């Protein structure tokens, strides 16, 4: 690697401002450890002055040794007309005892005069005195020039003066923020180029995604000389989000040969993105570049044929480089070759012209005629193939189940499920409440099976889709149910079809559990061998 870029992750601060995101202290600690393990340079933990949660986070991190990352406390410059050493925000940042601090100040004259309502001169003093205060305390200073691009376009002279104030006070890095996410890539390039020429110090970029250009703007800033890039993992953040680091890192590291994280850690990228999404309780966008489940998924027969001959024909990188994997989707346009490839993945010795192969293909045709669709439900497909090949043994037997729906009064639950299962001749009966019958069934089934299979404690549903197949039959129509599940590391999808939505859900639910148990069994066999 000829160049190095500092990756500054602000998932715990800027990412936490996303709609629907609420990190507990434990969540923040887990994410911080995952980011440190991946190898980012900086982890912004939050603003210790803003809330007790961030204060506790910084207190608890004092006993944690980070191997790769520097922890960063975030806060504003001192308030107007107050001494820097009397500002509670400044003192709380100092109490966090982090090796680095990120200080944001105003760059746009409009914000200075109309939003924080002070003079342009006082704003410059606020920046300079705050940076100098922390520099005297031995801190590494990352100065975030808020609204810099809008400020530069409105009044370039004053915007540059704000950077000059931070630079003269000793800031180690000047970060240019596209806070409104309104800039176009060429604008970012030109402005970063001008700043880089004016200041002999590390320049950074902090881009928001309001125009859908945060990643492109970050890459253009790098091209103009930026050596420090801020963003969040999976791009979560206020409004439309922040620059997505799980896209930026491989773009720079694989395409531009720039060191962002330790090279050996790049294979952990997909796992880390999924883990952080899981902790944040958000569904990872499956169409995200590099780390999404669809990033290396092929559906068209010609595409699949090309990839089988030479993967570079329809893949821009080897998915293994980022810890992802290639997928051939089952569909009406995928062709016979896709089915054969998937069968061979389960039984490499099978002959394409064998009776077993023909039986599997015939079975799939019958199921598709019934309404099954295996595109995006490859886990159910694998179970079907295993059953046809005699490589399947049920992990449990359902003895009975009972569902009750009710009008919630206090608990909020709208359904209850009673389930009795048997494993190796031993029975377990249990009940659970849920938000609807499928939720109740899922909870009751896993609760009963966890007695025999503790690994199921990590499994839960992340998505549930229902589609009416033949709507012209009204209430007698068949429905197709897709269930997406995760154990925090991998994601799999199963399918069920029936005229009864509960039965269709049950089929997909059982497949989901059995697929997880099958994969756990395979892991144990691999370890044994």
pLDDT tens digits for 385-431?
Answer: 888 888 888 899 999 888 887 665 555 667 889 999 999 989 999 99
Domains 3-280 and 397-528 share a fold: no
Residue 193 confidence class, pLDDT cut points 50, 70, 90: very high
Between 405 and 325, residue with greater pLDDT: 325
| Res 408: pLDDT | 59
Between 49 and 221, residue with greater pLDDT: 221
Per-residue b/e over 421-440, b at no fewer than 16 CB within 10 Å?
bebeeeebebbbbbeebbbb
322 secondary structure, DSSP code: G
Contact (Cβ atoms closer than 8 angstroms) between residue 485 and residue 492: yes
In whole angstroms, give the CA distance from residue 57 to residue 295.
Answer: 35
| Res 352: pLDDT | 74
Rounded to an integer, the average pLDDT of 40-45 is 98
- pLDDT tens-digit readout, 293-323: 889 988 766 777 788 788 889 899 999 999 9
Q: What is the pTM of this model?
A: 0.75
Distances (CA, A) of 99 to 135, 136, 425: 11, 13, 59
- Residue 398: is it exposed, middle or buried by C-beta count within 10 angstroms (0-12/13-18/19+)? middle
79 secondary structure, DSSP code: P
| Res 411: pLDDT | 56
Other CB atoms closer than 10 Å to residue 242's CB: what's the count? 30
Residue 333 confidence class, pLDDT cut points 50, 70, 90: very low
Share of the chain above pLDDT 90, in %: 61
Lowest-confidence segment of 162-176, 342-356, 507-521 by average pLDDT: 342-356
Lowest-confidence segment of 16-20, 76-80, 220-224, 329-333 by average pLDDT: 329-333
Helices (H), 287-436: 301-309, 336-346, 355-370, 378-389
Structure tokens at 316: 């821009």
Q: Residue 182: is its pLDDT beyond 60?
A: yes
User: Phi/psi at 175 (nearest 5 deg)?
Assistant: -100, 125
Q: Where are the domains of the chain?
A: 3-280, 297-370, 397-528
Contact (Cβ atoms closer than 8 angstroms) between residue 171 and residue 105: no
Rounded to an integer, the average pLDDT of 14-34 is 93
| Res 272: pLDDT | 94
242 secondary structure, DSSP code: B
| Res 92: pLDDT | 93
Q: Residue 1: is its pLDDT beyond 50?
A: no
| Res 412: pLDDT | 60
Rounded to an integer, the average pLDDT of 112-131 is 97
In whole angstroms, give the CA distance from residue 345 to residue 146.
Answer: 52
Between 280 and 78, residue with greater pLDDT: 78
CATH assignment of 3-280, given 3.30.300.30, 3.20.20.70, 2.40.50.100, 3.30.450.40?
3.20.20.70
Per-residue b/e over 245-280, b at no fewer than 16 CB within 10 Å?
bbbbbbbbbbeeebbbbeeebbebbbbbbbbbbbbb
Q: Residue 184: is its pLDDT beyond 90?
A: yes
Structure tokens at 357: 């192969």
In whole angstroms, give the CA distance from residue 202 to residue 448.
Answer: 57
Residue 473 confidence class, pLDDT cut points 50, 70, 90: low
| Res 528: pLDDT | 55
Beta strands in 439-478 (DSSP E): 460-468
Considering the domain 397-528 in this protein, what is its CATH number? 3.30.160.270
Residue 91 confidence class, pLDDT cut points 50, 70, 90: very high
Distances (CA, A) of 441 to 303, 444, 452, 454: 40, 5, 18, 18
| Res 362: pLDDT | 83
- pLDDT tens-digit readout, 425-471: 899 999 998 888 888 888 899 899 999 999 998 888 888 888 887 65
Q: Residue 17: is its pLDDT beyond 50?
A: yes
| Res 332: pLDDT | 47
| Res 59: pLDDT | 93
Nearest to 266 by CA among 317, 219, 231: 317
Nearest to 231 by CA among 458, 475, 5, 463: 5
Q: Mean pLDDT, the chain, as a whole number?
A: 89
| Res 348: pLDDT | 80
């Amino acid at each position: 690697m000829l160049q190095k870029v500092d990756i500054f992750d602000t998932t715990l601060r800027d990412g936490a401002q996303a709609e629907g995101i609420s990190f507990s202290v434990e969540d923040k600690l887990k994410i911080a450890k995952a980011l440190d393990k991946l190898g980012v340079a900086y982890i912004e933990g939050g603003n210790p002055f803003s809330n007790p949660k961030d204060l506790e986070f910084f207190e608890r991190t004092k006993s944690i040794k980070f191997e790769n990352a520097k922890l960063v406390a975030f806060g504003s410059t001192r308030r107007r007309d107050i001494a820097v050493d009397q500002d509670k925000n400044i003192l709380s940042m100092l109490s966090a005892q982090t090796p680095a601090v990120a200080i944001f100040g105003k760059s746009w004259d409009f914000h200075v005069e109309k939003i924080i309502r002070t003079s342009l001169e006082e704003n410059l003093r606020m920046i300079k005195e705050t940076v100098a205060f922390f520099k005297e305390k031995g801190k590494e200073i990352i100065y975030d020039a808020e609204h810099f691009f809008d400020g530069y376009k409105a009044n370039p002279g004053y915007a540059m003066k704000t950077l000059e104030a931070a630079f003269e006070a000793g800031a180690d890095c000047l970060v240019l923020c596209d806070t409104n996410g309104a800039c176009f890539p060429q604008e970012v390039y030109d402005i970063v180029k001008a700043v880089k020429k004016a200041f002999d110090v590390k320049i950074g970029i902090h881009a928001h995604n309001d125009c859908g250009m945060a990643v492109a703007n970050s890459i253009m800033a790098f091209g103009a000389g930026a050596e420090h890039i801020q963003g969040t993992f999976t791009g979560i953040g206020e409004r439309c989000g922040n620059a997505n680091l799980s896209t930026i890192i491989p773009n720079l590291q694989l395409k531009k040969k720039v060191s962002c994280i330790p090279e050996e850690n790049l294979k952990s990228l997909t796992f880390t993105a999924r883990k952080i999404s899981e902790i944040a309780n958000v569904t990872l966008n499956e169409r995200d570049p590099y780390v999404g489940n669809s990033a290396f998924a092929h559906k068209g027969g010609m595409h699949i044929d090309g990839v089988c001959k030479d993967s570079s024909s329809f893949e821009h990188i080897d998915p293994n480089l980022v810890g992802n994997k290639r997928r051939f989707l089952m569909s009406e346009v995928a062709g016979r070759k896709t089915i054969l490839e998937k069968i061979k993945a389960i039984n490499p010795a099978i002959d394409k012209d064998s009776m077993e192969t023909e039986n599997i293909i015939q079975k799939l045709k019958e199921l598709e005629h019934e309404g099954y669709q295996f595109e995006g439900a490859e886990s159910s497909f694998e179970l079907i193939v295993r059953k046809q090949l005699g490589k399947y043994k049920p992990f449990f037997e359902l003895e009975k189940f009972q569902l009750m729906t009710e009008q919630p009064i206090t608990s909020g639950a709208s359904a209850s499920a009673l389930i009795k299962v048997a494993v190796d001749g031993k029975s377990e009966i249990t009940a659970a409440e849920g938000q609807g019958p499928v939720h109740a069934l899922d909870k009751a089934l896993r609760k009963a099976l966890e007695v025999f299979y503790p690994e199921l404690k990590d499994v839960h549903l992340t998505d549930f889709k229902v589609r009416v197949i033949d709507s012209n039959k009204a209430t007698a129509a068949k429905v197709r149910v897709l269930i997406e599940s995760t154990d925090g590391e991998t994601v799999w999808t199963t399918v069920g079809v029936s005229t009864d939505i509960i039965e269709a859900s049950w089929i997909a639910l059982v497949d989901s559990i059995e697929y997880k148990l099958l994969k756990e069994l395979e892991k144990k066999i691999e370890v044994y061998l």
